[in-house]
Chains A and B, each alone.
Chain A
Amino acid sequence: MKENISIKLTTNKLRLQECIDFVQDNSCGGIATFVGTVRNHTKGKEVKQLEFSAYTSMAIKELQKIAEQALDEFDILKIAIHHAEGLLQIGEVPVIIAVSSVHRGASFKACEYAIDTLKETVPIWKKEYFKDGEVWVNAHP
């Protein structure tokens, strides 16, 4: 793994400060982050909890690709992408992305690129648990 990329897919609680500390650099002028949180509703139904499962080995490769593409495409210094696996409660954090850059515009663009791409390409699946059952999100497009 490159020195300017931190990738994690873990059943432990994600820690924002760890991502910030990783991307922080004395030559950086700003850090953009995205912190996903578990919403308590979806399409009007109350969500009780979520479960994330992954094709772990491939998911890590795809996360790594996103980080490398972000470094290629945007003028950024470092990037951290951490994603949770397993059961998450409302308000808990499934994903954290942090990006540092000398000039802030690049961090924002790279951060949004990373979360948008993650949601399209990384083999991770979310199951929503309702009072009356559970459903794989997006399973039937």
Chain B
Amino acid sequence: MDQILSLAATNLLSPIILSFALGLAAALARSDLSVPEAAAKALSIYLLFAIGFKGGVSVSAHGIDAKLGLTLVAGIVLSAVLPLIAFALLNVMTSLSRLDAAAVAAHYGSISIVTFVAATSVLESSGIASEGYMVAVAAAMEAPAILSALWLISRGGGNGQRMDSDLWREILLNGSIVLLVGSFFIGWATGEKGLEEISSFIVAPFKGVLCLFLLDMGLVAGRGLRERSDVLRPGVLAFGILMPVIGSLCGLGAGLLLGLSSGGVALMMVLSASASYIAVPAAMRVALPEANPSIYLTLSLGVTFPFNLTLGIPLYVALATAMTGA
């Protein structure tokens, strides 16, 4: 408990979290502070490239773990199953329509890469090692949740699903997946030598860039909360905090079963706990246009993301280290 608290306190006072808080506060106070869209996208490209590359280098250094395949499968299963849990929970806790509930559920099966990035940065600060291939697991967990949600709808007789080949391609070749997986392979192929060449670009300034990116996330989340917080009925709000905890426990179970390192277990928890706000919302707009985006965007970015960032990550890391006995 002590460890959790001290980790949470360190975490809360890190420049990264405070930058997010600054953005959130500025948006809620209706400041005109804003990061240009092109700059925000550039920051996200940098982060994806760097995190993928570093994951690949780490795999090239430690060799492929026999568990890589199993961990990927576990990630895919988690991503596919978590929406079912989320959907059941939403039916109990909220009065959302079947359509809205399925759309929300899809987000919680999928993952948020920034939450993952923030977690790796906490692990690094705490000197806890993790499997480099967790980046690949993150990528693998983006899409399956979408299929589960569409299946939930079709099972209910909805006519939402329009899984044309365009949509398939958009989901699987989604820019962030391609960049993450691509740079993972580049890092793997070029190894430590490649890292050396570009580490003063992708390692040294990484945390600072993350600060600016989280400033922007805070601005966007705050704007969302300001304009759409009316969708956050108590039940919905509670779901946004309960679900990541449940997800993290599923991730914990999977991580322990797989025998991952304590850092790996923590990241598995973070992935399971986090909710998508890029890939899944876009897929929902295409496949389930009648679902209300205000609900899933506000929940994912305005509630679950800040919760994970501030309290969740230290909690998951503490639990993971406690359970793995590290």
Bind each other? no
Binding site for A on B (CB under 8 A): none
